[in-house]
A and B are shown apart, each in its own frame.
Chain A
Amino acid sequence: MKPEIITGAEIVIRSLQKESVDFVFGYPGGAVLNIYDAIFKQKHFKHVLVRHEQAAVHAADAFSRATGKVGVALVTSGPGATNAVTGIATAYMDSIPMVIISGQVPTHAIGEDAFQECDTVGITRPCVKHNFLVKDVNKIASTIKKAFYIAATGRPGPVLVDIPKDITAEEAEFVYPETVALRSYTPVTKGHLGQIKKALDLLIKAKKPMVYSGGGVVLGDAAESLKKLIDTLGFPVTNTLMGLGGFPASDEKFLGMLGMHGTYEANMAMQDCDVLIAVGARFDDRVIGNPDHFLSKPRKIIHIDIDPASISKRVKIDVPIVGDVKIVLDDMLECYGEVKSDHDKSRVKPWLAQIKEWASKDCMAFEDDGSFIKPQKVIQTLHKVTNGDAFVTSDVGQHQMWAAQYYPFDKPRRWINSGGLGTMGVGLPYAMGCQLAFPDSQVACVTGEASIQMCIQELSTCKQFNLPIKIINLNNRYMGMVRQWQEFFYGNRYAESYMDALPDFVKLAESYGHVGMKIEKSADIEPALKEAFSEKLKEKLVFMDFITDQTENVFPMVPNGKGISEMILAGDS
């Protein structure tokens, strides 16, 4: 066969094709014009033109969260790359597999403060799993191959490939490597069987067992394996914010989310258990609260995680199991057969009764006399209207917590939000990524009037690509989450947390060619949501501006520095 000599830009395109990329989210500029010219001439993937590079990365990130595939974004050098940084850091904190391709000034100009030059590899180094600067056209294909491999394996994460403009113009033979071998990177996927047996031994002897599962179950596509094991063991389960949907919320063994805004029963059980198994969860400070308080109760802790550095980082672990959560859970279930006869399930009855008692506090109840729109009710109604089967993205703030608390997820990869970095502005681009991945599914973006304005320009992208997203704006005229902290911990001094001079969101939506609705009465919540999700508006983006109760707070709440069992509940004053 004749060797295929093509330009570096074409090599980029062909490499993406080899990786079966469907969508590239991007924004052009000088340093990537060669690549854009090659995009113009190809039909392997669809390029989604965003209105800000941050949104390109967020949308690609959400595409990955919703599908499990590697998300791809393309940005130009300098400001294109710096605009992408927030998106990259967001993906990094939540371990999302992505490849970001950035243009760079020509190799001969690097270091000369050239036009739109910035040290992209240097700037992104602390917020990527790895990054590359490609200085040889012959290395583009192998570098992209490595980037996809690194992004998707082990603990996933974003990988950036920076390519100078002259390199995309030069020509080389296109050879896409079949495999990658990196001597310094060999993630362990199979858990140590001895450790798994040790863990099982602890679990079946536990009187007060507790399962704490996180984003790793979602990322590792292990929801089914987890469900099988838990059904076998009969233990109570809680999810982190990132783990929601990793275990079905409608299962009676599910105690709800835990942590700062977790349920009373989940937090009490987490604190009081005698054997805890953490499954793909990283003992975040928003989850265990004050670590000294958490450790003041003796308990044995088992931790399954693919990243050894997640284990014993904040809390000392008794039985570490390094491996892929699905493989480990399946092995654990298999090993259970050997010890099944020693497992006396009645042992945990008093514990389950205790949990039931905690749950009877009904910590998620909220007062609603119908005079205001209660944000919780909007989410509950959204759940009803979408049959609990929508992709729900959110921004960051109170509305995010209410979405997490009042929309019970039964499936993984349906709840798309920024947990680790907590990036306001993700909601709308996240919804774009989901809707493009699943054009026939319902996609709801739960947001706040502050967050939505951080990427509002993407309404234009939604118009261009006909994305019928339903935006649920819980408009409390406050940076509610900030206001809540100021109310509780800063003597009601609402410093700069009031959102003054808000736009007319209905007109704003309309000016972008979408449908706008303003909902001001509690009685209108359901009719409005039904209309937005009706056949009539199926093809339309609907911006629903819910004017909600300004003073509503998120409960339960564990104040900063407190232990997780020291919650403020809705009734407390």
Chain B
Amino acid sequence: MENESGALSRVSGLFSARGYNIESLTVAPTEDPTLSRMTIVTNGSDAVIEQIVKQLNKLLDVVRVLDLNDGKYIERELMLVKVKASNQYQDEMKRISDIFRGRIIDVSDNTFTIEVTGSSSKLDAYLESLDSESIIETVRTGALGLGRGDRILKA
């Protein structure tokens, strides 16, 4: 979509005005600074998704819409998790983080901060594997998506 102020609120306003769900939404400028790219995770019946795509296409700031589920795609999300750094959790946390290819990116006397990337469901699984008592806070970017191979979304 056009990289213009107001574009984001047009999209989010559309979702709330028409009662569509937003599970996550990420947006940032692209290699072409006049354009931003947004990934929205939503849910609904086929008819609802069809309407969402059509309604998004109607927005003047939206250049193109691609429903990634119509073909093969890659999904990634980044999460930062801050956990308690007590001996009780330490080994377990390191072991699980290894399995999920998480990296410890910050250490303090009381905390570890781990960075994990993957599909949203992988991040969910990672969180579930940790002892919930040990989690201090989490922050997630929301999912990013890209078509595989020749599936390209360009203006």
Contacts and interface: CB of A to CB of B under 8 A. Distances in A.
Nearest to A311: B54
Given A122-B9, A184-B1, A312-B51, 17 more contacts: A121-B6, A125-B6, A125-B9, A125-B10, A125-B13, A126-B13, A126-B17, A133-B6, A183-B155, A184-B2, A184-B59, A184-B60, A184-B61, A184-B62, A309-B58, A312-B47, A313-B51
Contacts of B9: 122, 125
Contacts of B1: 184
B26 interface: no
B41 to A, nearest CB: 21
Given A121-B6, A309-B55, A312-B47, A182 B13 contact: no
A312 B55 CA distance: 12
Interface residues of A, number: 18
Interface string B17-56: 1000000000000000000000000000001001100110
A436 interface: no
A250 to B, nearest CB: 37
Contacts of A51: none
Q: Give the bracket for the number of chain B residues in contact with chain A.
A: 20 to 34
Given A125-B9, A183-B155, A309-B55, A316 B60 contact: no
Nearest to A182: B60
5 contacts: A121-B6, A183-B63, A183-B155, A312-B47, A313-B51
Contacts of A150: 60
A352 to B, nearest CB: 34
B141 interface: no
B120 interface: no
A185 B47 CA distance: 23
B153 to A, nearest CB: 13
Nearest to A133: B6
A309 B13 contact: no
A331 interface: no
A316 B47 contact: yes
A312 B48 CA distance: 10
A308 interface: yes
B57 interface: yes
B54 A308 contact: yes
A47 interface: no
Contacts of A122: 9
Contacts of B47: 312, 316
B80 to A, nearest CB: 31
Interface in A94-146: 121-122, 125-126, 129-130, 133
Given A122-B9, A126-B13, A183-B155, A312 B50 contact: yes
Nearest to B63: A184
Contact of A309 (B10, B51, B62): B51
A530 B60 CA distance: 50
Nearest to B7: A184
Contacts of A308: 54, 57
A185 B54 contact: no
